[in-house]
Amino acid sequence: MYRYDEFDARFVAERTAQFKDQVERRLRGELTEEEFRPLRLMNGLYLQLHAYMLRVAIPYGVLSSRQLRQLAMIADSFDKGYGHFTTRQNIQFNWPKLADVPSILEALAEVEMHAIQTSGNCIRNVTTDQYAGVAADEIEDPRPHCELLRQWSSLHPEFSFLPRKFKIAVTGAPHDRAAVKVHDIGLRMHRNEQGEPGFEVIVGGGLGRTPMVGKTIRGFLPADELLPYVTAIMRVYNRFGRRDNKYKARIKILVHEIGVDAFSELVEAESARGDHGEAIELAAAEVARIEAYFAPPAYEALPGKDPAHSAQLFENKAFARWVRHNVAPHKVTGYSIANISLKPVGGIPGDATADEMRTVAGLAERYSFGEIRVAHEQNLVLPDVATRDLYALWQALETAGLATPNLNLVSDIIACPGMDYCSLATARSIPVAQAISRRFADLARQEDVGDLHINISGCINACGHHHVAHLGILGLEKKGVESYQITLGGSADENAAIGQLVGPGFAADEIVDAVEAVVRVYLDGRKGREERFLDFFRRVGIKHFKEALYAPAQAR
Amino acid sequence: MSKIITANHLIGGDVVFLAENGWTPNVDRASVADDDDTLAALAARAADAEARNIVVGAYPVEVRCEGSRVVPLHYREVMRTRGPTVRPDLGHQATLGA
Amino acid sequence: MPLLKHGEWILDTWRFYPDDQPIPSAKPKIVTVARLKGDDGEFLFHCDCQLGVRLESHEKIEDLEPWLERLQLVALVFPKFADGRAFSSAAMLREQYGFAGEIRAVGNVLVDQYPFMRRVGFDAFEVEQGRALDSWKKARIGIGLAYQYDDRSPDGPAAVWRARRGNRPLTLAAE
């Protein structure tokens, strides 16, 4: 993974010192809250419902064991012993004190981490596929360009006061695990007919109040032209994005209002201005330098099949189940990608205690070259596990309560923190996730249901990404109580789609029954287990679901 | 209409309520205003505390009084008095008791 | 109003004349785009005087193009500090139009934006009375390093990518 050189280290050190000074000026009263707010936001510090919240950047979801241990230390020393992994591959601490934040930032800087630009109207964490660099289906490793974009976007002088936040995602595989089509800029790495690397550039995707799937404005952008082209997009957005209404200020609104053709012309015209020769050269040199950090680890030459592993699969049903759901194919023979679910039955999705973080850090060192990934689904990944080690890994995870074998199943729920933590929320999301998880606790039942992505957002800002869930739940307020709407048929991958609203919302004590009713429609009507929920929905549409959910009581 | 003033403590970030002698984490001790003048006086004290960098984000909350208890009308404000419902071991609900 | 230029507080020799005020012939004057395009435009173009324009945040740099060779100053307005459009206007003025005159920030600016503004090409800053002028001087450099390769501020932050390539010796900006 990328390692800081003296420049990166100095950059973060100075930024930390700068923020420390800003905190001190605030505490002395030299800065009002109104002046301090944009500054603290640019350092990832929010004021939430019960306390401050610090959002720490995990660039494109890659962590070292050392970093994860430091996060655990911060959780113990400065917070309440846990952290929350988010839908943008970051981690949040929910209880820091303002006066402690400079010390927390110093502790982060020690391990080459920071909270820069995890908030505010600037370019946020560039996210990617949690299997980047190791996925069996990968065409190009997106991480070097993610790192390039990360550096380039850090304290960019022209783009730090945008109309609104800006999110970029990159994928290097045909199966998109990074949700690039619902980001402000989505980049899909691929090769042209001449075998040259480049990007499909997709703009104007997004969720929130007005969910939209992004539009392609460039089918193939040569890789070395990435930064001048992204600069052009950012400049068009900075100049012409709406600033009159916070809810109409994202780039998706601009693309929608002027049309993708007009938008594309503006970008092409902007990027044609000026001579980008030196910029392209500098960026290419930097990418080459960065690529060296992403050279493959010292993989052993292992056989495709490991007899001990095969025997364990046969003998241990629980292990076999975990492998079936949580292990993904690796591009190197004899290796596997192991997913660690942070969705135990009845648990809080994405939360990890300091002890759990330390356990995972140790297991990563032992079995995965010291590297961990954070998925936007709020789970963790050990990307480079020798298949022969999976059994030992699983046993260790079992002991630590981290072996829930539920990836992509109905209890692998993505949920924003919701009103239990967030001051923007209109309803709680976590208790709904917990209740659904408990209702479907039986693994055999979950396996029968198969792939069913449930996402829960506690307000219309959709941080739970409910719009692109197979079954999305949106928590609102109706007549002074929480009310939950269901959307169906969303998808975040290369066939991205926005879910359709089924009908009026359900009360907190009805929503789990409603989810069961949805599942029953699927189970009753599907062609067989091979027809996944999403495919079933695409075949039959929303009608039967509406009937099942809103028919008179006796018909249910 | 009864109202109290709530805010977050600047340095610590925790939820506090304006009481007779200052700011308290315990909503039952909050000063309750039953008329506009009293509320205005509370608001002025809160604004002063913000200017002196003690609290941030002060705002009024509608409540009803049930015996010795002060209960916000809206579920969000109730949550602010207690802490996360999914972590009963955290927040004021833990430190102050039920 | 105090004017910060090249890190020092100086006396402002310019004055802005709103559209309803008559413009003197000789003095350095800043006028609106509307005025340049209006009846006074001809006179202003040919008069022997220092001429500047004041651009509101929604007005476009492209509209100034016919005038740029004539102008000695462009004042870019920040109606709110969060309105970052002027950053792009300044960058475009320097980068695409090669404007070498003064680019001045006016309006609501935060001292913490100062290093960003310098880096995109602002070289003068009107600061409201009563602001902590000291903190402006201290904030001048910001962080001594920058990743973005276009750096337009003299003695600005060292460009990291160039330094890594050894194209320029690394001289970190003065503290």
DSSP 8-state class, residue A158: S
Residue listed under structure tokens 């651009």: C55
DSSP characters for A226-255? HHHHHHHHHHHHHHHS--S-GGG-SHHHHH
Which of A27, A431, A480 lies at the smallest CB-CB distance from B11? A27
How far apart, in whole angstroms, are the C-alpha atoms of residue A503 and residue A470? 16
Q: Do A51 and B85 touch (CB under 8 A)?
A: no
Instruction: Please indicate whether, in this complex, the C-beta atoms of B13 and A51 are within 8 angstroms of each other.
Output: yes
Q: What is the pLDDT of residue C7?
A: 79
Decide if pLDDT at C154 tops 80: no
Same domain, C91 and C163: no
Residue A206 placed within a domain: yes
With an 8 Å Cβ cutoff, are B79 and A420 in contact?
yes
Residue A316 and residue A279 share a domain: no
Does residue C84 sit in the same domain as residue C157?
A: no
The conformation of residue A340, written as its DSSP 8-state character, comes to E
Q: Give the integer Cα–Cα distance in Å for A360 and A63.
A: 11
Q: How many domains does chain C have?
A: 2
Tell me, what CATH number does C58's domain have?
Answer: 3.20.20.70
**Three-state SS for B64?**
strand
| Nearest residue of A to residue B87, measured between CA atoms | A420
Distance of alpha carbon B97 from alpha carbon A191, whole angstroms: 61
Q: Å from B18 to nearest chain A CA? A: 16
Q: How far apart are CA A233 and CA A242, in angstroms?
A: 15
Task: Return left, alpha or beta for B35; rule: phi > 0 is left, psi -120 to 50 is alpha, else beta.
Answer: beta
Instruction: Identify the residue among B9, B10, B82 best suited for mutation to test binding to A, counting A beta carbons within 10 A and taking the highest.
Output: B10
pLDDT mean over A484-491:
98
- Is A35's pLDDT higher than 80? yes
* Chains C and B: 3 or more CB pairs within 8 Å of each other: no
Task: Say which of B13, B76, B90 has its CB closest to residue A47.
Answer: B13
Partner-chain contact A38 C110, CB within 8 Å: yes
The residues near C134 (Cβ < 8 Å, ≥ 6 apart) are none
**Average pLDDT score, chain A:** 96
**pLDDT (average), residues A268-293:** 92
Query: What ipTM describes this predicted complex?
Result: 0.96
From the list C124, C150, C142, the residue with the least C-alpha distance to C54 is C124
Residue C166 has pLDDT above 80, yes or no: no
Q: Are A235 and A335 contained in the same domain?
A: no
Indicate whether A371 and A277 sit together in one domain. Answer: no
Query: Mean per-residue pLDDT for A359-367?
Result: 98
Range of the domain at B35: 2-95
φ/ψ of B65, rounded to 5, equals -100, 130
User: Cβ separation of A7 and C164 shorter than 8 Å?
Assistant: yes
Q: What is the pLDDT of residue C170?
A: 43
CB contact residues (below 8 A), chain C span 40-99, against chain A? 60, 81-85, 87-89, 91-92, 95-96
Query: Residue A547 pLDDT more than 90?
Result: yes
What is the per-residue pLDDT for C129?
62
Q: Is the domain of A16 the same as that of A146? A: no
Q: Higher pLDDT residue, A12 or C152? A: A12
| Residues A463 and A526 occupy one common structural domain | yes
Residue A242 has pLDDT above 80, yes or no: yes
Contact (Cβ atoms closer than 8 angstroms) between residue C162 and residue C130: no
Among chain A residues, CA nearest to B77: A49
More confident residue, B19 or A555: B19
Helix/strand/coil for B16: strand
Statement: residue A522 has pLDDT above 50: yes
The reported pLDDT for the residue numbered A554 is 45
Q: Residues C65-81: pLDDT tens digits?
A: 999 999 999 999 999 98
CA distance A8 to A22: 21
Confidence of residue A556 (pLDDT cuts 50, 70, 90): very low
Sheet-wide strand order for A62-64: A62-64, A371-374, A380-386, A335-340, A327-329
Residues on chain A touching C113 (C-beta within 8 angstroms): 160-161
The pTM for the full model equals 0.95
Confidence of residue C171 (pLDDT cuts 50, 70, 90): very low
Q: Looking at the structure, do residues C50 and C99 belong to the same domain, yes or no?
A: yes
> Is there a single domain that holds both residue C76 and residue C147?
no
> Is pLDDT at A179 greater than 60 in this prediction?
yes
- List the subunits that have 3+ CB pairs under 8 angstroms with A: B, C
- Strand order from edge to edge, sheet including A82-85: A45-47, A52-56, A91-93, A82-85, A351-353
DSSP code, position A165: -
Looking at residue C142, what is its pLDDT? 74
Of A306-310, A550-554, C159-163, the poorest mean pLDDT is in A550-554
- Does B84 contact A421 at a Cβ distance shorter than 8 Å? yes
Domain shared by C124 and C167, yes or no = no
Residue A60 has pLDDT above 90, yes or no: yes
DSSP string, A501-530: E-SS-EETTTHHHHHHHHHHHHHHH-SSTT
Residues A285 and A191 in one domain: yes
In a domain, A116, yes or no: no
pLDDT at residue C174 in the model? 38
Question: Does the structure show a pLDDT above 90 at A92?
Answer: yes
**pLDDT on residue A494:** 96
pLDDT tens readout for residues A378-430: 999 999 999 999 999 999 999 999 999 999 999 999 999 999 999 999 999 99
Q: Which of B9, B16, B52, B53 to mutate to test the interface with A (most CBs of A within 10 A)?
A: B53
* A contacts of C92 (beta carbons < 8 Å): 235
Same domain for C100 and C153? no
Structure tokens that stand for A283 in this block:
């960026």
pLDDT above 70: percentage of residues in chain A: 99
Q: Are residues A57 and A135 in the same domain?
A: no
Note down the domain range covering A321: 307-400
Q: How many residues in chain A?
A: 556
Cβ C161–A235 below 8 Å, yes or no?
no
Closest CA–CA distance from residue B16 to any residue of chain A (Å): 9
Query: Which residue, among A30, A39, A49, A50, would best test binding to B if mutated, counting the most B CBs under 10 Å from its CB?
Result: A50
> Total structural domains in chain A?
4
Are C77 and C148 members of one domain? no
Per-residue pLDDT tens digits for C86-111 = 999 999 999 999 999 999 999 988 88
* Cα distance between residue A531 and residue A509, in whole Å: 30
So what's the pLDDT on residue C173? 41
Task: Let me know whether A420 and A366 are in one domain.
Answer: no
Does residue A299 lie within any of the structural domains?
no
A132 plus A106 within the same structural domain: no
In a shared domain, residues C10 and C83: yes
What is the nearest CA distance from B73 to chain A, expressed in angstroms?
9
Helices (H), A167-240: 226-240
Q: What is the reported pLDDT for A464?
A: 97
Structure confidence at residue C169 as a pLDDT band (50, 70, 90): very low
| pLDDT tens-digit map of C4-51 | 888 788 889 999 999 999 988 788 999 999 999 998 888 888 888 899
Total domains present in chain B: 1
pLDDT, tens only, B68-92: 999 999 999 999 999 999 999 999 9
Asked if residue A367 and residue A440 are part of one domain, the reply reads no
Is the per-residue pLDDT at C167 higher than 70?
A: no
**Tokens matching residue B81:** 């008095």
CB A147 within 8 A of CB A345: no
Closest-approach residue (CA) in chain A for B76: A419
A-C contacts at Cβ under 8 angstroms: 102
In the three-class reduction of DSSP (H, G, I as helix; E, B as strand; rest coil), residue C46 is classed as: helix
Domain around C46: 3-140
Q: Clarify whether residues C121 and C59 are in a common domain.
A: yes
- Domain boundary (A372, A400, A428) is at A400
Q: Supply angle C-alpha A163, A20, A156, rounded to 5.
A: 35
Query: Residue A464, SS3?
Result: coil
Q: Same structural domain for residues C32 and C104?
A: yes
Residue of A nearest to B13 (CA): A51
The arithmetic mean of pLDDT across residues A292-307, rounded, is 95
What is the 8-class DSSP label of residue B71?
E
* H or E stretch at A71: helix A65-78
pLDDT at C175 over 60: no
- Helix locations, B1-98, DSSP H: 36-51, 75-82, 92-95
CATH code: domain of residue A510: 3.30.413.10
Same domain, A435 and A537: yes
Question: The domain that contains A69 carries what CATH number?
Answer: 3.90.480.20
